[in-house]
Amino acid sequence: MSEDRRLEVLRAIVEDYVQTREPVGSRMLVERHALGVSPATIRNDMAALEEGGYIAQPHTSAGRVPTDKGYRLFVDRLSTVKPLSGPEKRAIQAFIDEAVDLDDVVDRSVRVLAQLTQQVAVVQYPSLRRSAMRHLELVPVGERRLLVVIITDTGRVEQRTLELATAPSEAVVGELRARLNALAVGHRLAELITLLAHLPEVFEPDARPLVTAVTEIVEETLAQESEERIVLAGTANLARGPNDFTRSLGPVLEALEEQVVLLRLLTEMAEDSASVAVRIGHETQHEGLAETSFVTTGYGGDGDAVARIGSIGPTRMDYPATMASVRAVARYLSRVLAG
């Protein structure tokens, strides 16, 4: 059997199954696709694909449906990803460009992606560990209280209040603010721990407790695991899916509620070499997501990913269209953050 023809038959089965939601038979393939071979040859190809574990017969006398292995081969051999239309691109840009702050950007991005794919959209907030410092502000809010404000290049704003033993002088606070920004601006937050290590030595002994307290609270903020959070939209889209999928919707919804599961997947998929990563069915390594696929890509300023955005839907999804939508929203999200 020709390897190329086998892939063409598999591609046709995947596309027809996604579109019709019905098992695909050889007669349908002959009628809908110009494969250039006889029905008998197609049946032989399908038998070989079934033996290889790429397609399966759900019940006797039925056509064939793709397996996780079949979807994986289909995705891996995609030569092109279906581009979005001009109106779709303009709608995404206009909607995201209206955002007023980081929370609004994330909210708009996840909503527009859910609308495009008619699936669940997931956006991971920019990680402090992968962000760079844009500005650090020190604001006295009382005689012995100091507000430490960390602003990143991705628009994240983290605030911490520092209780002091003695009231700091305006001169020391001003000098500390200036030196912190001179050291911090443009550097990844993970690098700042090293950069700030010797900062107290620059100040007079009586000011060093304040400097140490501020650098420690910056380091503690950067080290917090609670920074990793995600936003979901479009969960109701799953309930409007095909009957065979909605019957197993409970475990999927339970898995989506466990943010630690999604964060683990996002972290693992960030290591994929492909620009758009795909986990199919059991590849998610979570029983509740065994009938879903997860498509993600990174976003961030200057082409350097600081977090990920993705779409979750049934394994019977339109992979080229979903991959295109995820990639397009990620690009516009990156542009807004870089601006």
CATH number of the domain where residue 200 is located = 3.30.390.60
Residues 62 and 195 in one domain: no
pLDDT at position 303: 58
Per-residue pLDDT band for 1 (boundaries 50, 70, 90) equals very low
Residues 93 and 45 in one domain: no
Let me know if residue 55 belongs to a domain. yes
pLDDT greater at residue 79 or residue 116: 116
pLDDT at position 226: 46
Residues 183 and 246 in one domain: no
pLDDT greater at residue 225 or residue 43: 43
Vertex 292: Cα angle to 290 and 296 (nearest 5): 120
Convert the pLDDT of each residue in 85-116 to its tens digit.
888 889 898 998 888 888 898 999 999 999 99
Residues 70 and 112 in one domain: no
Let me know if residue 212 belongs to a domain. yes
Residues 141 and 206 in one domain: yes
Q: Which among 203, 226, 249 is the end of a domain?
A: 226
Q: Do 188 and 126 form a contact (C-beta atoms < 8 A)? A: no
Number of domains in the chain: 3
Residues 192 and 249 in one domain: no
Convert the pLDDT of each residue in 15-74 to its tens digit.
999 998 889 988 888 888 888 888 888 889 999 999 999 999 887 777 899 999 999 999
Q: Which among 226, 258, 290 is the end of a domain?
A: 226
Let me know if residue 81 belongs to a domain. no
Average pLDDT estimate for 229-248: 77
Let me know if residue 289 belongs to a domain. yes
Residues 119 and 232 in one domain: yes
Convert the pLDDT of each residue in 161-211 to its tens digit.
998 888 888 999 999 999 999 988 878 766 778 888 889 999 999 999 999
Helix/strand/coil (H, E, C) string of the chain? CCHHHHHHHHHHHHHHHHHHCCCECHHHHHHHCCCCCCHHHHHHHHHHHHHCCCEECCCCCCCEEECHHHHHHHHHCCCCCCCCCHHHHHHHHHHHHCCCCHHHHHHHHHHHHHHHHCCEEEEECCCHHHCEEEEEEEEEEECCEEEEEEEECCCCEEEEEEECCCCCCHHHHHHHHHHHHHHHECCEHHHHHHHHCCHHHHCCHHHHHHHHHHHHHHHHHHHCHHHCCEEEECHHHHHCCCHHHHCCHHHHHHHHHCHHHHHHHHHHHCCCCCCEEEEEHHHHCCHHHCCEEEEEEEECHHHCCCEEEEEEEECCCCHHHHHHHHHHHHHHHHHHHHC
Residues 191 and 303 in one domain: no
Residues 217 and 288 in one domain: no
| Domain of residue 134, residue span | 129-226
Residues 27 and 141 in one domain: no
Residues 61 and 93 in one domain: no
User: Global pTM?
Assistant: 0.78
pLDDT at position 252: 87
Let me know if residue 205 belongs to a domain. yes
Residues 16 and 43 in one domain: yes
Q: Which among 188, 210, 226 is the end of a domain?
A: 226
